[in-house]
A and B are shown apart, each in its own frame.
Chain A
């Protein structure tokens, strides 16, 4: 029943709606607007009309204005490093962590003794700060660190050093992100698995289905809602990756003034944080680009899920 005098409802909602409008909706719209403003200065609040120049500069079609100091490096790196890195990190870490989490969840679910213990154990990384995790990984992968010692290697992984190769650094980034992302996924999958009726497995056993067949014919389809949820959220998180790199490396790249470990959010953060009011509009452009990427991928996943998901 729809009543016209529903003002009471609106009054109850008002506090959160006002806060949302001020701190979420307005900044969102403002970001879009700023990204199209010509010569916008964040500190002065001045601009001279709308333009596409900010985007053109970001994608290297026109050079950025030379009166902004130190902007050309990051802007160049956006297209050269930040976008590809963001994609690589997402498309490597998300599938691997989902598959690993699924396997671990099935194993945890299949044991009887110590199940709660392992569940807790695998969940602990989630309550740890990612910067702290990154720093610990940084210690493990330092030149005289644990990893080199165990495998008897003499490689540079995370130091700012000419011998630290791009892929060495990326490998550590992958490991760090996967390790940090596993717990939440495992938690969701284990709770999903516990919701599947045991009768299906008994029936499958009677029908002499192998463990593997039970996994891909019963477990995976019945877990598909959770898999969809996890894959959408982790793709979004993957595209937003930045903290892991900030925690692992002291810099944006493997050597002094390189930007080769840049990601989109890292770029956005840098431009907002640069202290000069001119570069904020490029940060907004980066954010809008990221928004569009996430929009497209989430849409794609929903399209795929229509056929594949059983509810």
Chain B
């Protein structure tokens, strides 16, 4: 599904009596998200990203602007009719329901319009198919038998997953086959008995003037009949099996959320959001409750699940690494306004303004207030850059260099430099960084090279002109060099 948002605005009304002014949480928010795309809303706390998500979900009202799902305007549609799936920051799993019940919750009591099928025959056919596999199934049953109190449940669970059948059916098979004495003959007689039953059922239908096609649809006068009905328990079973497979929760269906790890709980929340085959999947900081290692593996999983289910997804986060690593495109927000929409690498390499440039990248960008005189950029008395022309003469600018663009080196490849006093040394695992200061910036970050010998207090920081980004001082817009 294609998501189109036009001029979205959200104002939280203040209280004039108590002197609380209105707060504009989001304004001028327009975006087009293509079918199957994973888009990340990225920004610091309070930038309005969650508000946008809740407006898409229909849990917060829109002040002005429109939201379209494909070409349908759903701005005023209540959330239950939008067909969105939402994964909450703290998952909001129902604590009193087990994983199965949590995942199945959105499907219970819902109505579907389907072809009328003969479910008895489908059930018997499946049963016979299972019985034909009886040696395999007995292997599964005996694997669990006697090991535990919950052995029957685990065996039934595995049968259901392996053969993709509802639990009612796997229970029936389990009951028949758990007895070791059951011989091949007994299984055969069961197969024969249920084949008879199918024939009887078919005859009964024929007498009433119905016929059945190969997909078990009921036909009258060669017309397929349809009916609106409550979704059946067996159908819910199959859907739960489907999403549980996607999120790899096969062995946890009958546990309570409190018995699961954070990552598993999160997958339950995703499964619950996916079971209704939502048109739009919304993820509200889904990784913030996980520890660092789990966060990395889970975000890759989210990416995989999203690609498999091909559902259009909006992902909210304040963590740039998350957004940069898994999103197709990212939207960077500041104070409710879009600062840039781009694919992750380009947003990093080619930021449109100083906010985006300094928000993205760890360690962050080094910024210096500078002045242009003729074609030279000066930070204090240091000439740091030379422009091609005099167009910017007299302009106040923000001169900035990525940490990897400042080098402490002896071979003078670069013409210009700044000086800084050594302040600190930080280890970030693979990378190490030096923190220096001077009168223009008290925290200059420099990537540390292994061959460097720290033997002085003051260093010359040579500027790699290719890593320089220049912004207007007035509005923070990028000046392209």
A131 contacts the other chain (CB 8 A): no
Bits for B88-125, please: 1 = Cβ < 8 Å to A, else 0: 10101011110000000110111000000000000000
Please encode chain B, from 283 to 306, with 1 for each CB lying within 8 Å of some chain A CB and 0 for all others. Answer: 000000000000000000000000
A208 touches B105 (CB 8 A): no
- Are B90 and A206 touching (Cβ within 8 A)? no
A200 touches B96 (CB 8 A): no
CA distance A210 to B108 in the complex (A): 11
Cβ-defined contact, B106 with A207, below 8 A: yes
* Cβ contacts under 8 Å, A202 to chain B: 59, 86, 88, 92
Pick from A203, A213, A222: contact of B86, CB under 8 Å: A203
User: Is the beta-carbon distance between B96 and A310 smaller than 8 angstroms?
Assistant: yes
Using known A-B contacts A202-B59, A213-B109, determine if residue A208 contacts B92 with beta carbons closer than 8 Å. no
Given A205-B80, A206-B57, A206-B79, also A197-B105 (CB < 8 A): no
Chain B residues with CB below 8 A from A217, complex form: 94, 105, 108
Interface of chain A: mostly helix, strand, loop or mixed: helix
Does B276 count as interface, using CB distance less than 8 angstroms?
A: yes
Q: Which residues of B contact A222 (CB under 8 A)?
A: 95-96
> Does A52 lie at the interface of the complex (its beta carbon under 8 Å from any beta carbon of B)?
no
CA distance A217 to B88 in the complex (A): 19
Rounded to whole angstroms, the CA-CA distance of A204 and B102 in the bound complex is 10
Give the distance in Å from the alpha carbon of A209 to the alpha carbon of B110 in the complex: 9
**Pick the contact of A207 from B90, B97, B272 — CB < 8 Å?**
B272
Determine whether the beta carbon of A207 is less than 8 Å from that of B109: no
Give complex CA distance A206, B59 in Å. 8
Interface size on A, residues (CB 8 A): 19
Decide if A208 touches B88 in the complex (CB within 8 Å). no
B80–A206 touching, CB < 8 Å: yes
A221 part of interface (Cβ distance < 8 Å):
yes
Q: Is A199 an interface residue (CB 8 A)?
A: yes
In the complex, chain A residues 180-218 whose Cβ is within 8 Å of any chain B Cβ: 197, 199-200, 202-210, 213, 217-218
| Nearest chain A CB to B13 CB, angstrom units | 14
Tell me whether B96 and A203 are in contact (CB under 8 A).
no
Residues of B within 8 A of A200 (CB): 92, 94
With A200-B92, A203-B88, A310-B95 as known contacts, state yes or no: A209 contacts B79, CB within 8 Å. no
Of listed A197, A200, A206, A209, residue having the most chain B CB within 10 A: A206
CA distance A209 to B109 in the complex (A): 8
Q: Which residue, of B57, B58, B80, B96, has the highest number of chain A Cβ atoms within 10 A?
A: B96
B344 close to A (CB within 8 Å) = no
Residues in B whose Cβ lies below 8 Å from that of A221: 94, 96-97
Complex interface: chain A residues within 8 A of B92 (CB): 197, 199-200, 202-203
Which residues of the other chain, A, contact B85 by a CB distance below 8 angstroms? 206
Q: Tell me the B434-467 residues at the A interface (CB within 8 Å).
A: none
Indicate whether B430 reaches chain A with its CB closer than 8 angstroms: no
- Hey, which chain A residues are within 8 Å of B110, CB to CB? 208
Within A221-255, which residues are at the interface with B (CB < 8 Å)? 221-222, 224
Bound Cα distance A281, B141 (Å)? 65
Q: B87 — nearest CB in chain A belongs to which residue?
A: A203
Q: How far is the CB of B93 from chain A (nearest CB, A)?
A: 8
CB–CB A208/B106 < 8 A: yes
CB distance from A196 to the nearest CB of B (A): 10
Q: Which residues of chain B are near A209, meaning CB under 8 Å?
A: 80, 105-106, 109
Taking the closest CB of chain B, its distance from the CB of A231, in whole angstroms, is: 18
Within the assembled complex, what's the spacing in Å between the Cα atoms of A249 and B90? 56
Known contacts A199-B92, A221-B96; A210/B109 CB under 8 A: yes
Cross-chain contact of B84 among A199, A206, A213, A224 (Cβ < 8 A): A206
| B81 in the interface (beta carbon within 8 A) | yes
Chain B residues, CB < 8 A from A203: 86, 88, 92, 94, 272
Chain B residues near A208: list those with CB within 8 A: 79-81, 106, 110
Once the chains bind, are A205 and B88 in contact (CB under 8 Å)? no
**Is the Cβ of A205 less than 8 Å from the Cβ of B276?**
no
Against A, the Cβ 8 Å flags (1 = close, 0 = not) of B140-180 are 00000000000000000000000000000000000000000
Docked-complex contact A205 and B95, CB < 8 angstroms? no
Q: By CB atoms of chain B within 10 A, which of A202, A203, A210 has the most?
A: A203
Contact partners of B81 in chain A: CB under 8 A: 208
A206 touches B95 (CB 8 A): no
Q: CB-CB < 8 A to A199: which residues of B? A: 88, 90, 92
Cβ distance B415 to chain A, nearest Cβ, rounded Å: 58
Expressed in whole angstroms, the Cα–Cα distance for A218 and B108 within the complex equals 13
Docked complex Cα distance between A310 and B93 (Å)? 14
Q: What is the chain A residue whose CB lies nearest that of B278?
A: A206
CA distance A2 to B163 in the complex (A): 58
Most buried by A among B57, B86, B92, B272: B92
Q: How far is the CA of A179 from the CA of B376 in the complex (A)?
A: 86
Most buried by B among A205, A213, A218: A205
**Bound CA span A161–B5, Å:** 76
Closest Cβ of chain A to B456, distance in Å, is: 56
B-side contacts of A205, CB under 8 Å:
59, 79-80
Contacts of A206 in B (CB 8 A): 57-59, 79-80, 84-86, 106
- Docked Cα-Cα span, A205 to B85, in Å, equals 11
* Cα-based distance from A153 to B106 in the complex (angstroms): 51
| Residue of A204, A207, A213, A217 ringed by the most chain B CB atoms within 10 A | A207
When distances are taken between beta carbons in the complex, the residues of chain A under 8 Å from B106 are 206-209
On chain A, the residues within 8 Å of B58 by CB distance are: 206
Q: Once the chains are docked, how many angstroms separate the CA of A310 from the CA of B96?
A: 6
A72→B79 CA distance, assembly (Å): 70
Do the beta carbons of B79 and A218 come within 8 Å of each other?
no
Please measure, in the bound complex, the distance between the C-alpha atom of A221 and the C-alpha atom of B102, giving whole angstroms: 14
Please report A residues at the B interface, Cβ cutoff 8 Å: 197, 199-200, 202-210, 213, 217-218, 221-222, 224, 310
Q: Which 10 pairs between the two chains have the least Cβ-Cβ distance?
A: A208-B80, A207-B106, A310-B96, A199-B92, A221-B96, A203-B92, A206-B86, A205-B79, A202-B59, A206-B79
Beyond A208-B80, A213-B108, list 5 extra A-B contacts (CB 8 Å).
Answer: A202-B86, A202-B92, A203-B86, A205-B79, A213-B109
> Which residues of B are interface residues toward A (Cβ below 8 A)?
57-59, 79-81, 84-86, 88, 90, 92, 94-97, 105-106, 108-110, 272, 276
- 29 pairs from A and B in contact (CB 8 Å cutoff): A197-B92, A199-B88, A200-B92, A202-B59, A203-B86, A203-B88, A204-B105, A205-B79, A206-B57, A206-B59, A206-B79, A206-B84, A206-B85, A206-B106, A207-B80, A207-B106, A207-B272, A207-B276, A208-B79, A208-B80, A208-B106, A208-B110, A209-B105, A213-B108, A217-B105, A218-B94, A221-B94, A221-B96, A222-B95
